[in-house]
Structure 1
Amino acid sequence: MYLKLLVKHPTKIAESPYWDYRLSELFWIDCAEKTIHRFNYHKQHFVYSLFQDIGCIVPTDNPFIILAALQNCYGFFDIRTQRFKCLGYLETEYPENRFNDGICDSKNRFFFGSMCPSTLSSPQAAVYRLEGSQCIKILDGFYTVNGMAFSPDETIFYVSDSHPNVQTIWAFNYNSFSGELSNRTIFFFFFYILGRPDGATIDEKGGYWISCIDGSQIIRLLPGGVVDEVIKVPIDSPTKVAFGGKDLKTLFITSKSSSKNYSKMLYSVKLRIKGLKVKFFKHKN
């Protein structure tokens, strides 16, 4: 299996990749550098700067407008004008928190979670659901919300906590009509895996691909919670994965910088299995 280095660029924490099939372009962020990145197969690499640390991004039904969750606010970023429109603020009572992971479902809802300092004695991060203009808290009791994904039929919602003392992935029953979660169960404990659970995605067969930060690998979990495949990567801390390319069989891998890979931001690997098309948030002008 051949891993290809796609983008060499000074980076701190590359995260939140998604493939926009309408533009045939890949988007991702550098959380700490406060930047959004855009890349195509003509090797054009565009960088857009924002005013806060960025937690995650998702596409909207307008391919040129991105929904971004920053340090403590969320809103729309237009890549044509490079302007950000804030829609709301959350967790302002926790100034050290920031948003960290996010995903949309097929009904145009945005699910996103936060992270708090790992040194706290009790967790204060949470998961939120944005539907239209209404944003509500749906889960709490997290240190670092991560690994959010939906099964292909959207009956299961996955979420993890990356904290060294938690390292657990949970599965919920998901009602795609109401957006409600129920029946929380443990999907996978990470304590016997190299690395900790970070960003994840789902393939068309329901395989759950998750980055093992500090573990130099990506693993695929079957719907029953069994390790099915392991991909070793030449970076210490892969942060998130996303399927893309014309046939959705390319797995893109973002990374956190280290002394060995400060300028190695984005890798890709060709797989036999196909991913799912990214889902959008509904943008209203």
Structure 2
Amino acid sequence: MATSRISAAYRFAQPAGAAALLGESPAVDDRTGHVWWVDIAGRQLNRTHKESGETEAWPSPEEPGFVVLLRDGTPAIGMETGIFAFEPESSGFRKLIDQPRGGHRFNDATVGADGTLFVSTMTRDVAAGEAAIFRVDRSAALVPVTDGLTIPNGMVADLKRERFYFSDSEPRTRRIWVADLDPTDDTIGTPALFASMEGLPGRPDGAAVDASGRYWIAAVDGAALYVYTLSGEREFEVPLPVRYPTKLAFLGTNRDSLVVTSKADGQDGGKLLFVTFPHGTIRGTAQHRWRFGG
């Protein structure tokens, strides 16, 4: 199957100080017009206005892996020792859930349409096979989903199609898996290989699905987004002006544009990237909010 490229226009947000060392996990707040995101290596939480591009930044007490929004819009950040709610007015972090595995930190996260949060953990020294994925149940317990990974990423809980995706960014692995997702209790079936990025530029990082169910994933070190059909065929790619894109989220009333985080590369990497397409080219899906404690 031939893979096509689609054209896009790009705009970088003005960073607060230096660009992020390792930007990750864009969380879109449609109510305020902001995008929350983290700098893992720089230990920083950022909030960028999607129209003006102006960015505010707060230091985090630990390495942050992800940020998702609670139902009231409060950002929740997965770090080394737990998941913390952040209050911008006081710059305070309040722990919601413990991360019980010593030497680990939270990495990627996704929220299903029912408000269920899925998270991954990995070792801080990136030990092979020691990473895992969990579902956060209503009692705030971490329920194991799968393990044996190294750099777990690419998570998407697609309840509409009853699918759960995840990837491993480890350079010798570079695979994406899919498993059945039970919409009644959010349990995950046995994973099967969805796609391999072996032989392609880049490694699989953060992901999202569009309105047609196509799986979009950032090719870190590949300067592109790859888009896969439901059957795992690479349908098209979106070239990007940054070498290390890390994760994407859809923007706009019709979800017809993107915001992309990236890793520093000495040029524009590490800045928040806004991507627009010709009218009618794409239609994405909205991010969901975490139903914590209920």
- Structure with higher strand content: 1
Q: How far has the Cα of 1:117 moved from its partner?
A: 5.8
Counterpart among 16, 22, 27 of residue 18 in structure 1 = 27
Gaps of 5+ in 1: none
2:273 aligned partner, one-letter code = Y
Q: Number of aligned residue pairs: give it.
A: 280
Q: How does 1:30-49 map to 2 (within 5 A)?
A: 30-40=39-49, 41-49=51-59
Counterpart among 113, 122, 129 of residue 123 in structure 1 = 129
Q: TM-score, normalised by structure 1?
A: 0.92
Counterpart among 65, 72, 78 of residue 62 in structure 1 = 72
Distance 1:106 1:2, change over 3 A: closer
CA contact (8 A) 2:249 2:287 kept: no
Q: How does 1:59-208 map to 2 (within 5 A)?
A: 59-63=69-73, 65-93=74-102, 95=103, 97-116=104-123, 120=127, 122-132=128-138, 133-151=140-158, 153-208=160-215
Q: How far has the Cα of 1:284 moved from its partner?
A: 5.6
CA contact (8 A) 2:20 2:264 kept: yes
- 1:279 to 2:279 alignment: no
Distance 1:176 1:78, change over 3 A: farther
Please state whether the residue corresponding to 2:181 is helix, strand or coil. strand
Which residue of structure 2 lines up, in the alignment, with residue 223 of structure 1?
230
- 1:269 to 2:275 alignment: yes
Paired-residue identity, %: 24
- Inter-partner Cα distance in structure 2 for 1:177 and 1:48: 38
1:158 aligned partner, one-letter code = Y
Q: TM-score, normalised by structure 2?
A: 0.89
Which residue of structure 2 lines up, in the alignment, with residue 250 of structure 1?
257
Please state whether the residue corresponding to 1:183 is helix, strand or coil. coil
CA contact (8 A) 2:86 2:92 kept: yes
1:258 aligned partner, one-letter code = D
- Inter-partner Cα distance in structure 2 for 1:135 and 1:115: 14
2:34 aligned partner, one-letter code = E
- Inter-partner Cα distance in structure 2 for 1:191 and 1:115: 22
Gaps of 5+ in 2: 1-6
Computed over aligned residues only, the root mean square deviation of the Cα atoms, in angstroms, reads 1.9
Distance 1:119 1:174, change over 3 A: closer
Q: How far has the Cα of 1:154 moved from its partner?
A: 4.5
Distance 1:213 1:89, change over 3 A: same
Distance 1:46 1:118, change over 3 A: closer
CA contact (8 A) 1:3 1:233 kept: no
- Inter-partner Cα distance in structure 2 for 1:50 and 1:119: 21
Distance 1:253 1:70, change over 3 A: same
Which residue of structure 1 lines up, in the alignment, with residue 11 of structure 2?
5
User: 1:154-175 CA deviation, whole Å, 9 max, x = no partner?
Assistant: 5000000110111110000001
